[in-house]
């Protein structure tokens, strides 16, 4: 069986790209990699990419001389998790509080990790998690 190395991209679908940009760049400090009319792409820790698509903008295949990207979209509140170092948990809690972002939930995992949960402006559930959640993290 060929091996899968990691998840390279994660996509969220948003109602307002400018509002999402203000949140992910302005509040969370993610560095932009690329933007087009219906997409903003962000570096996450130099290891993965967060794609923010305008909801409903990818319902048809995107055809170019370089190839075809099949249709995709998402609706409802989706979930992603950001891996953080254990010593960054408290600074992130303070930062989120300073920004007026409510922590909706907190969980201590049996392996020792801790998760914080917040919502983005589109209602997506974002998780900050320290090592000790999975055997792989």
| pLDDT by position in tens, the chain (length 137) | 988 888 999 999 999 999 999 999 999 999 999 999 999 999 999 999 999 999 999 999 999 999 999 999 999 999 999 999 999 999 999 999 999 999 999 999 999 999 999 999 999 999 999 999 999 99
Per DSSP, which regions of the chain are E strands?
9-14, 31-36, 39-44, 48-54, 62-64, 67-69, 79-83, 105-108, 114-119, 125-129
The predicted pLDDT at position 4 comes to 83
Shared domain check, 99 and 32: no
**Domain housing 101:** 76-137
The first and second tokens of residue 33, run together, are 């990699």
- Quote the CA–CA distance of 18 and 118 in Å, as a whole number: 19
Place of tokens 């075809």: 68
Shared domain check, 81 and 60: no
- Looking at residue 28, which CATH number applies to its domain? 3.10.180.10
Asked if residue 56 lies in contact with residue 28, where contact means CB atoms within 8 angstroms, the answer is: no
Shared domain check, 85 and 95: yes
CA 29, 78, 99, 89 torsion: positive or negative?
negative
Shared domain check, 37 and 47: yes
The total number of structural domains in the chain stands at 2
* DSSP assignment letter at 131: S
């Amino acid at each position: 069986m060929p091996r899968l190395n990691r998840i390279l991209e994660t996509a969220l679908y948003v109602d307002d790209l400018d509002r999402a940009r203000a949140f992910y760049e302005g509040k969370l400090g993610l560095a932009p990699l690329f933007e087009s009319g219906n997409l903003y792409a962000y570096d996450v820790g130099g290891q993965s990419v967060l794609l923010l698509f305008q909801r409903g903008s990818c319902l048809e295949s995107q055809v170019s001389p370089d190839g075809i990207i099949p249709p995709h979209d998402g609706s409802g509140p989706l979930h992603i998790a950001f891996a953080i170092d254990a010593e960054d948990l408290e600074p992130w809690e303070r930062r989120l509080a300073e920004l007026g972002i409510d922590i909706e939930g907190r969980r201590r995992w049996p392996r020792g990790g801790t998760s914080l949960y917040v919502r983005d402006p589109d209602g997506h559930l974002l998780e900050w998690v320290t090592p000790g959640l999975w055997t792989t993290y």
